[in-house]
Chains A and B, each alone.
Chain A
Amino acid sequence: MIVDPANLNCEQFQAQLAELIGSGADISLHPHLISCANCRALLTDLQTIADAAKKLFPIEQPKEDLWDRIELAIKQEHGMIQPN
């Protein structure tokens, strides 16, 4: 059954939220959000979390000698040197 977006209750709206957000569309003008402070707050929080995530965990660099370890392991696998 298709429900008119304007007549969705919170449960019905939130059941669609993953798909609505994932679609990439601007849902801030969704009829349910205009009338529902609770779901507006939820959406704002989720957006805040997604925005904050972009600043989390800077790209890190492994130690310089990791390549030496990998190269050694490759040689060992190919029988080019004996494992220690």
Chain B
Amino acid sequence: MPRTISNFDSPHSGSVFSLSAQGSTGGNSTYRSSVDDRTLTRAQAGDHFAFAQLYAIHKRRIYSLCLRMVGNPAEAEDLTQEAFLQLHRKIATFRGDSAFSTWLHRLAINVVLMHLRKKGLAVTSLDEAMEPTHDDGPGRSFGAPDPSLSGSIDRLALERAVAELPAGYRLIFILHDVEGYEHNEIAIMLDCSIGNSKSQLHKARLKLRDALHTSLRRGGRR
């Protein structure tokens, strides 16, 4: 692989990896945020090393989001690569209207959804999940109660159920319940209302409840 343009290369990968370790531990968020801001400004001005630092800071969350959405490490890496390539193209357009990480997540989400649509998964698009529906929705519970799930959630069963959710529901569930984003942040990422985010998350959980009860019943019959 030719690497002939010295001023374009990262000065030394060790610095990038040490930042990565710092970013991954939670650590001091105020410090990390100020580092992030300065790094961001430099990256927007075309500083490639600063861009490499942004990659090191954000790669784990972006890769994890992609992996949770597609379930395949090789595909998730391709999507992470595409997300950071798009970031490189668009970073100068970031105006700070939202947190940078929220903006980057939104960009990555669009990459993932485009990928899912290309794979022919249009029926599970975010658009569909974001469309308010007038049906009864999943899992509404008016009859005799099922046995409680409490204490009986099998991690594999839940992961399988999440993987089988339509992409839009899966995305909101992952962003809110797994990654811990608030509804107002999700609304920005997905360009929807806060109420819509709450409603779709609720439906996602109801669908998961249905799937887990079904799984429990099947297990009980064995």
Q: Could you list which residues of chain A lie within 8 angstroms of chain B, going by C-beta atoms?
A: 10-11, 14, 17-19, 21-22, 37-39, 41-42, 44-46, 48-50, 52-57, 59-63, 66-75, 77, 80-81
Per the 8 Å Cβ criterion, residues 5-21 of B in contact with A are: 5, 8-10, 13, 16
18 A-B pairs with C-beta separation under 8 A: A17-B202, A18-B202, A22-B202, A38-B141, A46-B202, A48-B151, A50-B177, A52-B155, A53-B173, A53-B177, A57-B178, A60-B76, A62-B76, A67-B10, A67-B56, A69-B81, A72-B1, A74-B88
Chain B, residues 124-156, CB within 8 Å of chain A (1/0): the string is 000000000000000011111110111101010
| Given A14-B140, A75-B5, A75-B8, CB of A41 within 8 Å of CB of B159 | no
B4 within 8 A of A: yes
Q: How many residues of chain B are within 8 Å of chain A by beta carbon?
A: 65
Q: Assess whether A59 is in contact with B145, with CB atoms less than 8 Å apart.
A: no
What CA separation (Å) do A28 and B199 show in the bound complex? Answer: 19
What CA separation (Å) do A49 and B205 show in the bound complex? Answer: 7
Q: Given the complex, which residues of A lie within 8 Å of B89, measured CB to CB?
A: 77
CB-nearest residue of chain A to B62: A62
Q: Could you list which residues of chain B lie within 8 angstroms of chain A, going by C-beta atoms?
A: 1-2, 4-5, 8-10, 13, 16, 24, 48, 52, 55-56, 59-61, 63-64, 67-68, 73, 76-77, 80-81, 84-85, 88-89, 140-146, 148-151, 153, 155, 158-159, 162, 173-174, 177-178, 180, 183, 194-195, 197-199, 201-203, 205-206, 208-209, 212
What CA separation (Å) do A10 and B141 show in the bound complex? Answer: 8
Q: Given the complex, which residues of B lie within 8 Å of A66, measured CB to CB?
A: 59, 63, 77, 80-81
CB-nearest residue of chain B to A81: B2
Q: Assess whether B63 is in contact with A73, with CB atoms less than 8 Å apart.
A: no
Q: Assess whether B85 is in contact with A77, with CB atoms less than 8 Å apart.
A: yes
CB-nearest residue of chain B to A17: B202
CB-nearest residue of chain A to B87: A70
What CA separation (Å) do A80 and B166 show in the bound complex? Answer: 41
| Given A46-B209, A57-B64, A75-B8, CB of A21 within 8 Å of CB of B24 | no
Q: Assess whether A60 is in contact with B141, with CB atoms less than 8 Å apart.
A: no
What CA separation (Å) do A56 and B60 show in the bound complex? Answer: 15
CB distance from A20 to the nearest CB of B (A): 9
A38, A59, A70, A80: which contacts B85 (Cβ < 8 A)?
Answer: A70
